[in-house]
């Protein structure tokens, strides 16, 4: 399991760069993670990220797009606008969570 | 083993701009056969792949307002249920099998067909209705789900999906 330095913090990541210890995440770190993949974090982004963090703490699984829409209340179109092309993976990466496993 | 990287490890989400496209032809109208195309199309959209769905023959039931809320699953002719075929012909069996399947699908968090169409539409899919199927059944755009982009000929669909990978269901 590689350790990488992001924004001055040593964090554990998997081979692709996803954080493997959610407790090493912080909102400040999220800003840098987002920049790494070309996203400038806004309050709108952070609301989604906070939902993902909260949902993961409760369920132990990263929410899928469908769950972010139905449980979190964020419209699918908005998610594709905020995290273009691969929203599920990008949201999970910035939130310091594993990639979602669900099919839908 | 732990190794500290000097360069941060960053996922390469957009590195490969492949321009990948997927065209899915949905030709079946049973509840069980509605899902494979929708699930795979939705997965492709989530990976940044362009997706076109073409509804033809019985697949028209998925996008026709009158039928889209009421697709059914039948055990008849489906040996994968591992039940005696005669059972499927008993009165009420299709209704029972349909409600069981709907429950199983809902349990894994997958939406019903109309909601699923909205999900793929919102994710950027284009939905096309087959001209021939529409003419055969005397169906116009007014009879179709509002997310359908148009009624087009097979030739138009082939033209629109040039270079796409194709999936026939």
Q: Is B56 helix (H, G, I), strand (E, B) or coil?
A: coil
State the ipTM, two decimals.
Answer: 0.87
- pLDDT tens figures, B99-157: 999 999 999 889 999 999 999 999 999 999 999 999 999 999 999 999 999 999 999 99
Is A86–B47 a contact, with Cβ atoms under 8 angstroms apart?
yes
Residue A7 in tokens: 């924004």
Question: Could B119 and A76 be called an inter-chain contact, meaning their C-beta atoms sit closer than 8 Å?
Answer: yes
Residue A67 backbone dihedrals phi, psi, to 5 degrees: -70, -40
Which chain A residue lies closest to B48 (C-alpha atoms)?
A85
Residues of B in contact with A88 (CB under 8 A): 46
Provide the whole-model pTM: 0.90
Inspect the interface and report whether the beta carbons of A102 and B109 lie closer than 8 Å. yes
CA distance A33 to B167: 36
* Smallest CA–CA distance from A2 into chain B, residue: B3
Q: Which residues, numbered 8 to 27 in chain B, qualify as contacts with chain A under a Cβ-Cβ cut-off of 8 Å?
A: 8-11, 13-14
SS3 B147: coil
**In this model, does residue B51 exceed pLDDT 80?**
yes
| Max Cα distance, chain A (Å) | 36
Judged by a CB distance cut-off of 8 A, whether residue B122 touches chain A is yes
Contact B62, B29 (CB under 8 A): yes
Query: Any catalytic annotation for residue A103?
Result: yes
pLDDT digit string, tens, across residues A35-67: 989 999 999 999 999 999 999 999 999 999 999
Instruction: Please judge whether B122 and A18 are an interchain contact, meaning their C-beta atoms are less than 8 angstroms apart.
Output: no
């Amino acid at each position: 399991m590689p350790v990488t330095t992001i924004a001055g913090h040593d964090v554990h990541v998997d081979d692709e760069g996803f954080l493997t210890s959610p407790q090493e995440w912080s909102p400040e770190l999220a800003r840098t993670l987002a920049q790494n993949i070309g996203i400038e974090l806004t309050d709108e982004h952070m609301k989604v990220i906070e939902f993902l963090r909260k949902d993961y703490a409760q369920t132990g699984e990263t929410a899928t797009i469908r769950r972010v829409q139905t449980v979190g209340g964020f419209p699918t179109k908005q998610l594709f606008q905020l995290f273009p092309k691969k929203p599920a993976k990008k949201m999970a990466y910035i939130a310091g969570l594993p990639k979602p496993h669900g099919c839908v | 083993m732990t190794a500290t990287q000097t360069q941060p490890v960053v996922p390469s989400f957009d590195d490969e701009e492949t321009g990948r496209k997927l065209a899915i032809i949905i030709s079946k109208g049973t509840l069980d056969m509605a899902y494979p195309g929708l699930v795979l199309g939705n997965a492709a959209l989530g990976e940044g792949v362009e997706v076109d769905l073409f509804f033809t023959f019985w697949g028209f039931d998925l996008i026709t307002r009158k039928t889209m809320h009421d697709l059914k699953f039948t055990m008849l002719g489906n040996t994968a249920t591992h039940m005696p075929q005669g059972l499927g012909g008993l009165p009420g069996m299709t209704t029972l099998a349909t409600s069981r399947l709907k429950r199983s699908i809902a349990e894994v968090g997958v939406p019903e067909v109309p909601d699923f169409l909205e999900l793929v539409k919102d994710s950027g899919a284009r939905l096309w209705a087959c001209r021939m199927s529409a003419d055969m059944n005397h169906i116009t755009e007014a009879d179709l789900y509002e997310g359908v982009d148009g009624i087009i000929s097979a030739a138009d669909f082939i033209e629109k999906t040039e270079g796409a990978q194709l999936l026939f269901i």
